[in-house]
Amino acid sequence: MSLCLIGKVVGVHGIAGMLKVHSYSDIPGRFELLETVLFGASEDSAEPRIIEQATGDRQPALMKLAGIDSRDDAEQCIGHLIYITDEQMLPPPEGKHFIHDLIGCTVQDEAGNELGTVTDVAAQPASDIYTVERDGFEYMIPAVPEFVKKIDIAAKTIIVAPIPGMLDDDADEI
């Protein structure tokens, strides 16, 4: 079973076990749409928990999980992680992709030459930035239509149109 990290406990609220949760979801109110989550100090130790109450229209979101009934209980959970299963995930908006789907994709130029593999995606204000690794070198590709021409998640392939200097071994051509 594959899990997706959607939040981290960053504090407590009140005396009845309410958790302050930093949400990693782009969907406002995401926690309110769930009935259960997987909760624990790590992905390996995460166990199912029923959501008794959740608000997610601001950061941090507030969440009350079954079995966490006091401030002391809640304080023991600071740093714990909140996951959902693939079945609980909502589909991404049209033209958008989940980061975990992009990582591991093979990057090719328009001629089909392999340029490397996506190892990270950094969300930036203007656009996401794909970190691509090839032969021990890393380079960055802005996720904008001028450079990213096609993403095929099923084939785990991203087609790009790099400009001179974008790839490390092109840098001396400028």
- Per-residue pLDDT in tens (0 to 9) along the chain, 174 residues: 688 999 999 999 999 999 999 988 877 788 999 999 999 999 999 999 999 999 977 789 999 999 999 999 999 999 999 999 989 988 887 888 888 889 999 999 999 999 999 999 988 888 999 999 998 889 999 999 999 999 999 999 999 999 888 886 644 332
Rounded CA separation 121/125 (Å): 13
Do residues 100 and 153 lie in contact, with contact meaning Cβ atoms separated by under 8 Å? no
Q: Where are the domains of the chain?
A: 3-88, 99-166
Tell me which CATH code domain 99-166 carries.
2.30.30.240
How far is residue 166 from each of residues 35, 52, 140, 151, 174, measured CA to CA in Å?
A: 45, 49, 7, 19, 10
For strands 36-40 and 81-85, give the pairing: antiparallel
Domain 3-88 has CATH 2.40.30.60: yes
User: pTM of the predicted model, to two decimals?
Assistant: 0.67
